[in-house]
């Protein structure tokens, strides 16, 4: 009986650690931006400058910049999300900025198939930078 309780306790500790790691919030509060480009936010070297509905289709188009602060030409892969005013994810998309020279900024644009709604926000989910040789 004592051995069974120790095993159960050990499993609870293991699952607690796994849950804490999986449940970590990798969405820092400052990485969201509404449709107002006067409030740009930045994740790593990527900034969203516009989160707006394309009038012709009612789809959300996300625009932004990738600034290369490294010493090598770089390519950026950017994962993005559109969320409703309640924080529920409405859809995802991605963008690329290719061959960005050191100390230069490249513009990127990512159309989505998400219908724009009042109060929506766009955010950078993940940025990967690959440096060229």
**Paired residues of 78 in beta bridges:** 95, 127
Calpha distance 65→110 (Å, rounded): 11
- The answer for residues whose C-beta is within 8 angstroms of residue 16's C-beta and 6 or more apart is none
Give the domain CATH number at 49.
2.60.40
> Would 123 be classed as within a structural domain?
yes
Calpha distance 31→124 (Å, rounded): 7
> Would 23 be classed as within a structural domain?
no
> Would 96 be classed as within a structural domain?
yes
Q: pLDDT digit of tens for each residue in the chain (133 aa)?
A: 655 444 544 444 444 444 444 444 343 333 333 344 334 445 668 999 999 999 888 899 999 999 999 899 999 999 999 999 999 999 999 999 999 999 999 999 999 999 999 999 999 999 999 887 5
pLDDT of residue 37: 38
> Would 89 be classed as within a structural domain?
yes
> Would 1 be classed as within a structural domain?
no
pLDDT of residue 29: 35
How many structural domains are present in the chain?
1
Model confidence pLDDT, tens digit, residues 65-74:
999 998 999 9
Residue 48 C-alpha from the chain's centroid: 10
> Would 112 be classed as within a structural domain?
yes
Give the Cβ contact number of residue 112 at 10 Å.
22
> Would 10 be classed as within a structural domain?
no
> Would 22 be classed as within a structural domain?
no
Instruction: Determine the structural domain holding residue 45 and report its residue range.
Output: 29-131
Model confidence pLDDT, tens digit, residues 20-36:
444 443 433 333 333 44
Q: How far apart are the first and last CA of the chain?
A: 62
């Amino acid at each position: 009986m004592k051995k069974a309780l120790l095993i159960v306790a050990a499993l609870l500790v293991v699952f607690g650690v796994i849950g804490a790691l999986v449940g970590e919030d990798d969405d820092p509060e400052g990485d969201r931006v509404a449709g107002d480009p006067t409030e740009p936010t930045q994740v790593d070297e990527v900034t969203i400058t516009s989160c707006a509905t394309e009038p012709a289709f009612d789809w959300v188009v996300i625009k932004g910049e990738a600034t290369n602060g490294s010493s090598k030409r770089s390519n950026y892969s950017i994962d993005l999300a559109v969320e409703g005013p309640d924080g529920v994810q409405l859809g995802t998309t991605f963008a690329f900025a290719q061959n960005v020279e050191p100390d230069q900024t490249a513009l990127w644009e990512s159309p989505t198939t998400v219908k724009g709604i009042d109060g929506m926000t766009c955010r950078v989910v993940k940025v990967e930078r690959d440096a060229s040789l």
